Amino acid sequence: MELPIWVEWLNRRIGSWGIPHIIRILVALNVGSFVLDAFSPGFAASLILDAGAVRAGEWWRLVTFFFASGFTTSFLGILFFVFWLMFLWNIGESLEAEWGPFALNLYLFIPWIVLVAVAMGPWLQPVSNAHVATALLLAFASLYSGYEITLFPIPIPIKLKWIGIVVGGITLLVFIGQAASRLQILAALSSYFLFFGPYWYGGIKQRAEAKARMRRFRGEDGDQ
């Protein structure tokens, strides 16, 4: 899949601003957040984006919510946290190899800005980084739909296409069922819509045009 024209345009002009291996940095910050919260319970809560706390002077929350760990320190919590970070690392490295550092930076920067706007603007809605991970997973599944992975603890290879469909379906159900989460979901997935929207629209348009041509051809063939 080619990047949208506007992303390529920005890449040509300010592509050197991209931070290489940004996912590695986010993984390291997630680990730091998790470890510090384990030794000082409540630390991760001080990183989440809360409009009232930010206005009271805790401005760091505007950035730290992006890597605040939400996993528990139980055995299963630690286990799933490790597997999730490994999966996140793999997603980030693959997307950066496909797009380059700048485009991946942009893919993360857009939802960060929109989520901050949702939390600090007139909506004053609580936000988290959970659905940003969903946006990364959907991008990965869209680009490498035939790629197979084995999800712990299921010892069966599963194509990323199906994982993307399941995750997208669950996200849609949450969007429909939880009105309070709708703005947050739209904000977190904003980069997916901007990056992949033209691609999906183009594919739908091409299929519609192909069907229209086929109908015309069959109509003309039937008239003869």
Structure tokens at 191: 């980069």
Residue in this structure with the two tokens 């041509």, named with its chain if needed: 213
Structure tokens at 141: 């599944």
Q: How many CA atoms lie within 13 A of 86 on its CB side?
A: 10
pLDDT in tens, 28-67: 999 999 999 999 988 999 999 999 999 999 999 999 999 9
Give CA–CA dist 193/202, Å, rounded. Answer: 13
133 with 111: CB under 8 angstroms? no
Q: Between residues 203 and 51, which one has the greater pLDDT?
A: 51
Q: How many CA atoms lie within 13 A of 169 on its CB side?
A: 6
The pLDDT assigned to 220 comes to 61
Structure tokens at 6: 């506007």
- Could you give the maximum distance between any two Cα atoms of the chain, in Å? 81
Neighbours of 11 (CB within 10 A): 19
pTM comes to: 0.88
pLDDT in tens, 90-126: 999 999 999 999 999 999 999 999 999 999 988 888 8
The pLDDT assigned to 200 comes to 75
Strand partners of residue 157: 150
State how far the alpha carbon of 139 is from the alpha carbons of 110, 161, 190, 214, in Å.
Answer: 14, 11, 12, 32
For the chain, where are the alpha helices, taking DSSP H only?
A: 5-14, 22-39, 51-55, 61-64, 75-99, 101-120, 130-143, 160-177, 182-188, 190-223
